[in-house]
Chain A
Amino acid sequence: MAAINLNINGKKQTVNVDPKTPLLWVLRDHLDLVGTKYGCGIAQCGACTVLLGDAAVRSCQLPISAVANKSVTTIEGLSTNGDHPLQKAWLEHDVPQCGYCQAGQIMSAVALLKKHPTPTDEEIEIAMNGNICRCGTYLRIKDAIKTASNS
């Protein structure tokens, strides 16, 4: 157990956990931020994607000790009213089916647009290839990213 200082969605707080605990489980079990999902636990599906600074990372494989004092953004911190351009685009295109992977998809898309504000189809496919959608909403995700990139 160790006291670790966190900066999640702009909120500074301290948790007392095993430093090897993945960020995902600290978010979900200790901080009640359940928007970040568990899908595979081995960084293969992208459901647990959050932002570390401006980069998309898989929180299921990231020990909490590695994010001490660093800025982490989860889906809950993306906007106060669901009005981030990507969230709005997701609603406009009515992207989700089951919806379970979508928070991770959106966080990957946020990182993509920070790097490439107007991405090509190929850039979208490469950036989003780590996020599995079992329902197969890939085309709508692509359309939503393009809509957001134009706004």
Chain B
Amino acid sequence: MAQTQTSISRRTFLKTSAMAGGGLMISFGWISSFAKVKEALPISEEWTELNGFLKISENGIVTIMSPNPEGGQNVKTSMPMIVAEELDVDWKNVIVEQASLNTQLYTRQFIGGSQAIRQGWKSLRMAGATARHMLRQAAAQTWSVPLEEITTESGTLHHKKSGKSATYGSMASAAAKITAPKEVPLKAKKDFKIIGTSKKNVDGLKIVTGKPLYGMDVKRDGMLIAMIVHPPAFGMKLKSVNDAAAKSMPGIKDVFSVKVFNDDYERQFFDTCTFLEVVAVVGSSTWEVMNAKKALKVEWEPFADYTLKRSVPGGSSQTLTVPKGLESTTIHTASLKERMSKPAEVARKDGNPQEAFMNAAKIIERTYSAPFLAHNCMEPMNFFAHVTADKAELAGPLQKAEFTEKALSSRLGIPLEKIDIKMTRLGGGFGRRSYAHWLLEAAVISQKMNAPIKLIYTREDDMTSGIYRPAYRATYRAALDANNNLTAFHVKAGGIPESPLEENRFPAGAVDNYLAEEFTINSNITTGSFRAPRSNFIAAAEQSFLDEVAEAAGKDPIEFRLQLLDRVIKAPVGDNNDYDASRYAGVLKLAREKSGWGTPLPNVHRGVSAYFCHNSYVAQVLDLTIEKGKPVIKRVCCAVDCGIVVNPDAASNLAEGAIVDAVGNAMYGSLTFKDGVPDKNNFNKYRMIRHSEAPKAIDIHFVQNDIDPTGMGEPTFPPTFGALANALYKATGKRLYEQPFDLKLSEELKGL
């Protein structure tokens, strides 16, 4: 058995030991989950807390706190599964509760980078193992026998020699008095009973019966509804408000403007905010406020260039300029093309690419582009706030509560310990809810009204308030020698306002002469993380390009990639390649086997793609047919190497969803601008993938290994774009270079 130091979250255990010294505690969170099955033990109300992650009732029910917010990744089930595994309890006797934001007890309570399981793995296991150890020690003391002779089995302690046994519940109170150990044994992976088995979503029953779970569902006595009106265009700011008509409408309490940040505030990384001042409308009910919003007469004016200070991880700060102007997509595209023709910043160079291209027998050059995208979470942005003179209570959906809390403390002048943020289930996040300017708006509105309020964005407010996936462009060049060997590879990539380049990823390391360059173009259109940031574009471009290079080299696209990966395994070029070529090749081989790649099907057009991001490896083979002039995706076969899979069916669900999401964004996703105004503001214009357009079948295959788990929410998303593009090429004979594909595709498909 491996011994693991408990020092990672030693703070947690020291603190909670002291809390547990108080003995039994009765506590139920505001959004606790009772995912009970019939044969489970009855629920008791007396609990002993053994550490910040769990408490045990006297009859053996274990409540496990899920530290991270839940937005569909299913961490609220899978994180507690890891605790339960090491604690050694029966999953049917586990209740899961959403933990509040508590930076003293937990670390990294946020959604981002597909890191919850990877970075929580050790501390979650330790939380369970530590509590189990304390229970064993309590039993050893009570029975006056050596600790080593105490075993556990599904929530029961045994001493085989004396025949004594006791439930965790009966020993919990004594265990709480034990000092947490400095190190604990962890289970051998072969002994896992819960990890690796599929467990149902702990909130499933609440979801299908419509119970209040979301920020939108929060209600308090005396609560008012607030909405905002923001500038109609990027590049505009508030000039004046005529609220006479709106204020006299039924149910309306007040209209006023709200500044999101204090003027001298130094922003943190996730404090991106499009409109620094918005107009708030507050009233008794949603419908009344919606109507009053329409009656407001607001004047807007263009803003001049302005600067803002932002802290940089490490302690320093930078000054960013927000440029004036009403931007349009036609200008964006022209700027991207112009910058592409000029030298850019070299991010990586191996060998002598210039010479290799001069000596090439064949050069392939292609350019790919993708537009801004809106996240379009199904639950529009919203937050509940109740701010009084000396404290603030907040509840709602957000991804980075820990950071937002700091911004809020600064904005309200209320210390962190007087701010309580409850994390409700997110009706989707996808990156958008990392940038919680709406939480600050809600708090300021509540403070001004001196009342509890719920701020709701309409769908239109949500879609037009910025924080989009950036717009990107990338040009690739490949050099082949007379024997069709890849001798040089060049990528130049840029974006508004961010570069999508990942210079150390495949095929870096596989080519002797390699050049990666990047550039950025500033903009007042705000952007932020969007499921698999950067990878969601660069994988599409790169994997489409490699398909074309393989074809030019006369090679099978999977074999072509495997040969390059084999080169990396045997003799990698450069030292900074950020992927494991064997695992990369592993998923390609698994996808090749499971998809039946070697056996073509009549009238089925196949595309392959593979990508590494968020510490995981994914390969996909997409099969499509053309029916009645439209592409129909018959099947997507997906191979994943994310190490140990904690909850296989839930992980499959997440991967299936990522593939559907990617097909939707690749085919239809687009937000363009004219004079600073987004061209879409609701789902009548913004095309989202629907039931009939989803792939007809998706099968997910996990590589079986004992590697500690890695990301799952994002890595299955980027490969689909390339697999789809490559399959569409097979179907139409034409390559698609610009997303969304649907625009050009309908022309290509005419007559097919």
Which of A's residues lie within 8 Å of B, judged by CB?
1, 17-18, 21-22, 25, 28-30, 32-42, 44-45, 47, 74-76, 78-79, 82, 87, 90-91, 94-103, 106, 121, 124-126, 128-142
Inter-chain contacts of B217 with A (CB < 8 A):
34
A74 touches B210 (CB 8 A): yes
Beyond A82-B208, A87-B209, A106-B208, whether A131 also contacts B653 by CB under 8 A is no
Residue on B nearest A136 in the bound complex, by CB: B660
CA distance A17 to B291 in the complex (A): 14
Give chain B interface residues in 268-320, CB to chain A under 8 Å. 285-288, 290
A35 touches B654 (CB 8 A): no
Q: B171 an interface residue at 8 Å Cβ cutoff?
A: no
Inter-chain contacts of B200 with A (CB < 8 A):
91, 94
CA distance A74 to B661 in the complex (A): 28
B653 touches A128 (CB 8 A): no
Beyond A96-B204, A124-B691, whether A134 also contacts B459 by CB under 8 A is no
A136 touches B211 (CB 8 A): no
A37 touches B656 (CB 8 A): no
Inter-chain contacts of B649 with A (CB < 8 A):
94
| A83: min CB distance to chain B, Å | 10
Beyond A75-B210, A94-B200, whether A136 also contacts B689 by CB under 8 A is yes
Q: B22 an interface residue at 8 Å Cβ cutoff?
A: no
Point out which of B378, B380, B459 has the most chain A C-beta atoms below 10 A from its C-beta. B378
Pick the residue among B209, B429, B459 that contacts A82 (CB under 8 A): B209
Mask, B547-578, CB within 8 Å of A = 1, is 00000000000000000000000000000000
Inter-chain contacts of B739 with A (CB < 8 A):
none
B205 touches A140 (CB 8 A): no
| B36: min CB distance to chain A, Å | 12
| B201: min CB distance to chain A, Å | 6
| B22: min CB distance to chain A, Å | 36
A132 touches B688 (CB 8 A): yes
Pick the residue among B73, B201, B694, B697 that contacts A136 (CB under 8 A): B694
Of B52-60, B160-168, B420-428, the segment with at least 4 beta carbons within 8 Å of chain A is B420-428
The 10 closest A-B pairs by CB, nearest first: A35-B210, A136-B660, A100-B427, A97-B72, A98-B72, A75-B210, A136-B657, A99-B207, A44-B683, A125-B692
Beyond A74-B210, A135-B72, whether A42 also contacts B683 by CB under 8 A is yes
CA distance A80 to B661 in the complex (A): 34
Inter-chain contacts of B458 with A (CB < 8 A):
41
Which of B's residues lie within 8 Å of A, judged by CB?
71-74, 198, 200-201, 203-205, 207-214, 216-217, 219, 225, 250, 285-288, 290, 376-380, 425-430, 456, 458-459, 649-650, 653-654, 656-661, 664, 682-684, 688-692, 694-698
Inter-chain contacts of B429 with A (CB < 8 A):
98
Pick the residue among A29, A82, A125, A134 that contacts B691 (CB under 8 A): A125
Pick the residue among A33, A95, A103, A136 that contacts B664 (CB under 8 A): A136
Inter-chain contacts of A125 with B (CB < 8 A):
691-692
Residue on A nearest B688 in the bound complex, by CB: A132
B210 touches A103 (CB 8 A): yes
CA distance A18 to B456 in the complex (A): 20
Inter-chain contacts of A76 with B (CB < 8 A):
209-210
A129 touches B656 (CB 8 A): no
B691 touches A131 (CB 8 A): yes
B428 touches A135 (CB 8 A): yes
CA distance A125 to B692 in the complex (A): 5
A35 touches B209 (CB 8 A): yes
* Supplied contacts A45-B378, A137-B657, 5 more A-B pairs, CB within 8 Å: A29-B287, A44-B684, A96-B208, A134-B378, A138-B694
Inter-chain contacts of B207 with A (CB < 8 A):
96, 99, 102-103
Inter-chain contacts of A87 with B (CB < 8 A):
208-209
A42 touches B684 (CB 8 A): yes
Residue on A nearest B661 in the bound complex, by CB: A136
| B228: min CB distance to chain A, Å | 15
Point out which of B201, B429, B658 has the most chain A C-beta atoms below 10 A from its C-beta. B201
Inter-chain contacts of A94 with B (CB < 8 A):
198, 200-201, 204, 649-650, 653
Pick the residue among B290, B657, B683 that contacts A135 (CB under 8 A): B657
Beyond A42-B684, A132-B683, whether A102 also contacts B208 by CB under 8 A is yes
Residue on A nearest B713 in the bound complex, by CB: A97
A25 touches B285 (CB 8 A): yes
Inter-chain contacts of B225 with A (CB < 8 A):
29
Beyond A25-B285, A34-B216, whether A132 also contacts B378 by CB under 8 A is yes
CA distance A91 to B205 in the complex (A): 7
Inter-chain contacts of A126 with B (CB < 8 A):
692
B210 touches A139 (CB 8 A): no
Pick the residue among A18, A41, A99 that contacts B459 (CB under 8 A): A41
Pick the residue among B214, B285, B288, B683 that contacts A45 (CB under 8 A): B683
CA distance A123 to B167 in the complex (A): 53
CA distance A67 to B612 in the complex (A): 53
> Can you give 8 A-B contacts (C-beta < 8 A)?
A29-B285, A41-B459, A47-B378, A75-B210, A87-B208, A103-B208, A125-B691, A135-B378
